[in-house]
Structure 1
Amino acid sequence: ATVIDPTEDDETVKVICRRLFTRIDRDKARAVISAYKSLWDANRELLPPAPAEDRRLDEFAAGYPLHPELVNVLTQKTGTLGNFQRVRGMLRLLARTVARVWQTRPADAYAIHTHHIDLGFEPIRLELVTRLKQDIYVPAIKAEIATVETTPALAEQLDAGPFRGLPKYGSYVARCAFIHTLAFNDTLRGLNAEELRYAILSPGTDVAFIDDARKRFATDSAYLDDKPGAPLRFLAEANLTQIIRREETNTDRDEARTRLNSFIRDLFAGPNLNLIPFASGPHDVPDDDGSGRPYLVMLGYEATQVFSDAVTVDNLVEKVFLHKGGGTDWRHNRNNLVFLVADAAGVPNMKAKMLRNIALESLRQPGKLKDLADYQVAKLQELHERSKQELALAVQQCFRHIFYPSRNRLDEANCDLAHTVVDIQTASDRPGDGQRQVVTQLQNAGKLRLPTDKPDSPVYVRDRTPLKKGQITTAALRTEFRQDPSLPMLVGDDVFIKGIRLGIDQDDYV
């Protein structure tokens, strides 16, 4: 017996175009194809190498408005599926695609590409899932390519987020990856970055956005093949990203809160400032413990937050600054307090990083590692190490608002408190040493003196303290530095003693 193929490869596209379109304007087609050629030439280094006998323009002309890459993927990949009839199957799928393009009229549709096979259009989705029996990919389609129920798919989130107002780059990447996944042989499934650019590039799209969408989609995808070096293709089962997400979902929120609070305490503890974490009122902050170190009063991120576009002194900050004990007695040593408050925009990210760190730590238990492939175990270890640094960064970028004693009080403040903020770039330096950033910021504001710093000039101290009226004891002068917001805050007594000696040597003190 001999199997007879009624159409040769170069005849298939002509038959399909004849069946799909009543008329094709060849003169206008030549102008569009010429524009594509200019794009291919300009981006030659970023696209797949042209074959020795480059017939792309001829193929485009023969099959216009069908992009040659679309025809190739359907004949060379989808065509290998046993239940896909080359001409009849292509006609059914492309008829629905043309109808969808005609219905939506995307501004960048200079030709019909692979990414115009819209899985959000039910007739197209059913053609692929039901007729071609690719229902194993339904979870991937719902989660990542096209909204089937209510939760927006990953690709559509990208369209509405970073690519808002632009062509639907997120969806274009996802659709191309999916159609290229539909092949019988594993070696045919998927496409690389160069092939993706060629599939999507048109006079209405840009290579840079295509690359950006590919990276964003690959980073967040739960169903793309995550093996090292694997092409862009979908899996029926969840990848490591999805496994981690499930573990995050199952993480106990109370445990996460406890772990996060402990991590924050450790991060902002240090030798220069006496940390009081998560103070809830004046009773948590002594007026002076005699250590010689100013207090770093950290307020809980769930109790008090600062909105960067409208910074104000919170009532709790004001109450702790003015009062001590039960809240009725006045605080004397107000120039001995620094307040650290969370930025409202940074709290969700900080919590998410803690959940991720716990999830990654949990997955590294022997009982769970045995279910992962070797490459996933190695990736998990890498992600776990990275998550420690990311968590430290998230915490430091969240706790970045500093309120400190000053006569130059914040606008509309009811007490002598000024405000400074650690910028995001500075907060990203030296993750793991949060107190160092607070100290540096206070030094930059001219407020804090460390033991190793040069003391203020004796004349400056004399003219701003009761010393200018005559005599004062050394202890009383030191107390002035803890009480007067116009003076610098001193860490310990060393810099103070150096200043006293200098004042005596220069006859400024008696």
Structure 2
Amino acid sequence: MALKPWREIAVPHEDVLKGTFQQAEFAADLSRVHQGTATAEYQDAELFFQRTYITEGMRLLLDSVVKRLAGRGGDPVVQLQTAFGGGKTHTLLAVYHLARGDTPATKLQGVPPILNAAEITELPKARVAVLDGVELLGLASKPRLRDGVAVKTLWGELAWQLGGAEAYGLVKEADESGTAPGKGELTALLSAQAPCIVLVDELVRYVSQFEEGRSLSGGTYDTQISFVQALTEAFKAVPNAILLASLPFSDREAGSQQGVKALRMLEHWFGRVQALWKPVATEEAFEIVRRRLFAKVSDPLAADEVCKAYADLYAGNAGDFPIGTQEAKYLERLEQSYPIHPEVFDRLYEDWSSLDNFQRTRGVLKLMAKVIHRLWTSGNNDLMIQPGSLPLFDPDTRNEAIYYLAPGWDPVLERDIDGDRAETTEMDNAKPLFGAIHACRRLARTVFLGSAPDAGVVGGAKHHRGVELERVLLGAAQPGQVVGHYRDGARALVDRLQYLNSANGRFWFDVRPNLRREMEDRKRRFDLKDHVYPFIKDKLRFANGVFGGVHVFTPSADVPDDWSLRLVVLPPTATFARAAQSPAIDAASSVLKARGELPRQKQNRLIFLAPDADSVPRLKDQVTSVLAWSSIVADVKDDRLNLDQHQSKLASQSLELATEAMGRMVRETYKWLLVPSQEARLGKGVGDVQWDHFQVNPSAINRTEEIEKILREHELLIAEWAPVHLSKMLHAWFWKDAPAVGALDVWQKTCCYLYLPRLRDSETYRAAINAGVHSRDFFGIAYGIEDDRYQGFHFGERAIAILDETLLLIQPAIASGFAAQLDEEDAARRARLEEKTPRLTGDGPQGQSQGDEGGEETKPVGKGADASESSKPSASAPAVKKTSFFGSAELDPVKAKLQFSDIAEEVLMLFTQKPGVKVKVSIEIEASAPDGFDDHTVRAVLENCDQLKVTKRSFD
């Protein structure tokens, strides 16, 4: 008879089938049940017990509870303390529903046998009080109003829940004063309300609020402890009252130091009573999970046939599977856990439960609910749900699994284990022998489930790293399949997968590529200072671009303090993280403040690139991998290491992959751009240095251009500067006490002070000056002052500024006044020239008519004279007009600028003001040096000639 797959036998609950289950519903909430707001599976007592498997520990506890409420013995105080997710709250809920008696005990599945064993025919209804420390956190500082009564303390809340205002009256005085009631008062309270039960959950969270020496409206730390002491004693005195309290299992769950202290004190007082509590056993977990996730097993006989087929498989291949799987007891385990294979539970409860945030029962439920839903919707036809069945290709299942693991598992799953792009899928598709049974995928899933929790943990869940081959086969093989095919598949995986490791018959996945033992040994040879850091430095290469220099891992003394913009790349030890003060900030500040032992002047010319704190460890590891593979490949080439052809090829491929990954890692690591700045306000001084940080896109082809782009976008580097901004800066910082300021001094100060704009270079600054001098809105320029007059003055006209120590930037108001003065002087000079111009009345050389014996007075040409008549030539001797002019002058090299300015104003201006006059001006410069010109002078002259459009120039 053909075996049926699990989906034809076991039917999941509707919420699992539809994928509508909520993770929060797996977390039992005692307060919500008490308030009547919980989901049906927790609120409805009958439904709750239908889905609850009564474990041995729960059975013993319920037995004690029913005996106590019936006055037939039982423990008065029970402490529930087990690991995170161990079922404490779930057990309290079972006691809650049983004690309240809202639903007859006969309808509560699993309860009648407990009552029969205790010889109790009818359990009396009990008053139930629920003290949830999390729900009552606010009570410590703010009273609760109960029918107009302000309840202030834990004991006041207890009394009110048990018996309302009447019961509260017994502890009213203690509640109002915040002092703990005595044993007698509490005994009277419990006796009056008996049979009663008090359920306390998260008490440590509540008590830890009360710091020693501090009094809240809910009392003090000491009164809380006194109350607990008196309460445990009072329950002993009332035969039909019981107290159940859950306490954290570990200090980590207790939280703060105050929480740990409170836990120790509560353990002391509760510890005097033997708690009837046992953690959930793995076999019990089978039934817990099955009840919660599966509605029923529709065909028990078919299920038994499947379990027997698995047992036969293990018995018939005893050498391939773990010892113990051939015993009759393992068949019982198969039947108890069906349709989930016992190996799934073993791995989850033994390995995954060792993870800090994986709750034993709740974590298994959450993961398996997603697994079952996906297997159901994808039409999975496995006989049982084995480790090899896990649908890790499904995003929901994958995310749930890696949620509990350290970062880095996504690429492992995607590349090596499961999914359309996984190597295992390609291997199954390439080889029909594997593909028919999905051998590679099933093996990889099994290894992942058994090894992932131990990844990167020294002395982790298992003593030895990895999963034995026998257990890998146990998790993958099904009845009717050839086990040998899985053995072949395991060997193929070792040769192919990048993240699979194998040693001593064990297999494990890691978030790092499977660097062979030889490579791992070699990695340890490389020293950070001598090998790794120099290697990283060599890989950090940048085009200079906008920077005058890029300084990688350069000491502060070797970073020049000049006018060039410089990029300083910090070493791997100077890491940056946004969360806190980083070593990168300290290192950058050190370079910014000093050049070696000297103070640094040009601070506004430095930009820094820092490595990411989280990425540096991975970068170091990747570099050592490259170095290790490089040494292996080199040794193979030089015959110092003997490898077969396949291994040699694998080593070369691994080197290529590692080198490529290392290149990406360098870019991903060195991604933080750090830019210093300061805020300055007039009259309020300069603030501390602030560090702006930005991420550099690691995929940018030209990182220098990307850095420049970031700086420009955030206005931290100015490549094109409008004159209006220059004018504003001059008004704010330079013209306060002087009508003019040295342009070179302004440029140099922008290079020094972090509160001033950071310009790309001096050409950006000079371009702003050239643009601004064309207008009369911003500033004027001149080249010095002589006799209180600006020399080489320009304002509101085109000019090419030469940035040297003589160039001045003049306030617009001052420049406007001086320009007006020049206009007046120019008008006066013209008038004088016109007065001196002789009238042409004849042909003689003196401007007289040859027949003029009386010496008539001549008339000026221009205003006040008839220009047409005065310029008319006489009939006897026509005047010849001059049509060209040429002049040359020798200038003093030191005063050339001022002398040329005078020539331009006194001579050139007379031509340029005449319409239609074409003027050409040429400058010839001859310079000689007996000892020759130095390289700096040659380079500077030629560069300036390029800027000033000097076309004919050469050095001999």
**Matched residue, 1:125:** none
Q: Which residue of 2 aligns with 1:391?
A: 662
Please report how far the alpha carbon of residue 334 of structure 1 lies from its aligned counterpart in structure 2 after TM superposition. Answer: 1.1
AA aligned opposite 1:458: P
- Secondary structure of the residue that 1:448 maps to in structure 2? coil
Aligned pairs for 1:5-20 (under 5 A) are none
**8 Å Cα contact 1:276/1:297 also seen in 2:** yes
Contact 2:551 2:566 in 1 (8 A): yes
Q: Which residue of 2 is the match for residue 50 of structure 1?
A: none
Partner of 2:729: 464
Q: Which residue of 2 aligns with 1:309?
A: 579
- Corresponding residue SS for 2:567: strand
Match of 1:33 in 2: 10
Does residue 1:276 correspond to 2:548, yes or no?
no
Aligned: 1:113 with 2:338: no
What aligned pairs does 1:116-155 form with structure 2 within 5 A after superposition?
Answer: 116=344, 118=346
Kept after mapping to 1: 8 A contact 2:671/2:698: no
**How far did 1:116 drift?**
3.8
User: Structure 1 residues 372, 201: CA separation in 2 closer, same or farther (over 3 Å shift)?
Assistant: closer
Change (3 A) 1:336 1:502: same
The structure having more radius of gyration, on CA atoms, is 2
1:332 to 587, 590, 601: 601
Aligned 8 A contact 2:569 2:610 in 1: yes
1:443 pairs, out of 707, 712, 719, with 712
Is this contact kept in 2: 1:39–1:202, CA < 8 A? Answer: no
> Are the counterparts in 2 of residues 256 and 358 from structure 1 also a CA contact under 8 Å?
no
Q: In structure 1, how many angstroms separate the alpha carbons of the residues matched to 2:533 and 2:746?
A: 41
Quickly say closer, same or farther: Cα 1:316–1:504, change in 2 above 3 A. same
Deviation at 1:233, TM superposition (A): 12
Q: How many aligned positions are there? A: 387
Q: What is the distance in 2 between the residues matched to 1:61 and 1:74?
A: 17
Partner of 2:200: none
Tell me the residue number matched to 1:267: 540
Residue 267 (structure 1) shift? 1.9
- 2:355 corresponds in structure 1 to 160
Query: Corresponding residue for 1:429?
Result: 699
1:199 aligns with 2:386: yes
Q: What CA distance in whole angstroms lies between the structure 1 residues aligned with 2:321 and 2:506?
A: 26
- State the match for 1:490 in structure 2: 759
Amino acid at match of 2:560: P
SS state at 1:287 partner = coil
Q: CA deviation at 1:247?
A: 0.8
Task: Give the equivalent residue in structure 2 for 1:61.
Answer: 300
Residue identity opposite 1:199 in structure 2? Q
Which residue matches 2:404?
none
Contact 1:283 1:324 in 2 (8 A): yes
Which runs of structure 2 are paired with 1:284-363 in the superposition (5 Å)?
284-288=558-562, 292=564, 294-302=565-573, 304-311=574-581, 314-326=585-597, 329-363=598-632
Rate the CA distance shift 1:430–1:502 in 2: closer, same or farther, 3 A: same
Provide the identity percentage.
15
How far apart, CA to CA, are the structure 2 residues paired with 1:195 and 1:377? 40
| Aligned mates of 2:300, 2:744 — CA distance in 1 | 93
**Partner amino acid, structure 1, of 2:339:** A
SS in 1 for 2:629: helix
Is the partner of 2:540 in helix, strand or coil? helix
8 A contact 1:405–1:416 mirrored in 2: yes
Alpha-carbon distance between aligned partners in 2 of 1:235 and 1:194, rounded to the nearest angstrom: 33
| Conservation of the 8 A alpha-carbon contact between 2:314 and 2:325 | no
Matched residue SS, 2:364? coil
C-alpha distance in structure 1 between counterparts of 2:728 and 2:381, whole Å? 72
Does the CA contact (< 8 Å) of 2:678 and 2:687 recur in 1?
no
Q: Secondary structure at the match of 1:34?
A: strand
Any idea what SS the aligned residue of 1:403 has?
A: strand
Distance 1:169 1:372 in 2: 47
Does 333-342 or 468-477 show the bigger shift?
468-477
Please provide the CA RMSD for this pair.
5.3
Q: Aligned equivalents of 2:8 and 2:554: distance in 1?
A: 71
Contact 1:244 1:360 in 2 (8 A): no
Give a deviation string over 1:414-469, Cα, whole Å, max 9, x none: 732322131xxx543237x55444333322321123xxx4x111110122136655
Q: 1:397 to 1:39 in 2, by over 3 A?
A: same
For 1:302-353, what per-residue CA distance to the aligned partner results, in whole angstroms no more than 9, with x for missing partners? Answer: 2x33332124684443333223341xx4322110112333332222111111
- Secondary structure of the 1:464 match is helix
Q: Distance in 2 between matches of 1:370 and 1:227?
A: 18
Q: Distance in 1 between matches of 2:609 and 2:742?
A: 33
Distance 2:704 2:653 in 1: 27
TM-score by length of 1: 0.58
Q: 1:32 to 1:206 in 2, by over 3 A?
A: farther
What's the secondary structure of 2:614's corresponding residue?
helix
Residue of structure 1 equivalent to 2:124: none
**Contact 1:296–1:340 (CA<8 Å) still a contact in 2?**
yes
Residues 107-148 of structure 1, C-alpha deviation per residue, up to 9 Å, x if partnerless? xx5634052484899xxxxxxxxxxxxxxxxxxxxxxxx8xx
Counterpart contact for 1:393–1:427, Cα < 8 Å: no
Distance 1:203 1:259 in 2: 40
CA distance in 2, matches of 1:34, 1:386: 47
SS at match of 1:428: coil
Q: Which has the higher helix share?
A: 1
Q: How many Å apart are 1:40 and its aligned residue? A: 9.4
What amino acid maps onto 2:594 in structure 1?
A: H
| Preserved CA contact (<8 Å) 1:35 1:203 | no
**Distance (Å, rounded) in 2 between the aligned partners of 1:345 and 1:317:** 19
Kept in 2, the 8 Å contact 1:36–1:202? The answer is no
SS state of the match for residue 543, structure 2? coil
Is the partner of 1:306 in helix, strand or coil?
Answer: coil
For 1:420 and 1:503, the matched residues in 2 are separated by 33
- The answer to whether the 8 Å contact 2:315/2:326 transfers is no
Report if aligned partners of 2:542, 2:704 keep a CA contact under 8 Å in 1. Answer: yes
In structure 1, C-alpha distance between the alignment counterparts of 2:335 and 2:692, rounded to whole Å: 55
8 Å CA contact retained: 1:404, 1:419:
yes
Question: C-alpha offsets along residues 77-128 of structure 1, whole Å, 9 cap, x if unaligned?
Answer: 773456889xx97541x625856998xxxxxx5634052484899xxxxxxx
Question: Given residue 759 of structure 2, which amino acid in structure 1 is its aligned partner?
Answer: L
User: 1:33 offset after TM fit, Å?
Assistant: 0.9
TM-score (norm 2): 0.34
On the 8 A contact 1:158/1:170 being kept in 2, the answer is no
Residue in 2 that maps onto 1:371 = 643
For structure 1, the 5+ residue unaligned runs are 1-8, 14-28, 43-56, 103-108, 122-145, 147-155, 172-192
- SS of 1:310's partner is coil
Between 1 and 2, higher relative CO (CA 8 Å, sep ≥ 6) is seen in 1
Change (3 A) 1:493 1:379: farther
- Write the mapping of 1:77-116 to structure 2, written as runs, cut at 5 A: 79-80=316-317, 90-92=325-327, 95-96=329-330, 111-113=339-341, 115-116=343-344
- Distance in 2, matches of 1:40 and 1:368, equals 60
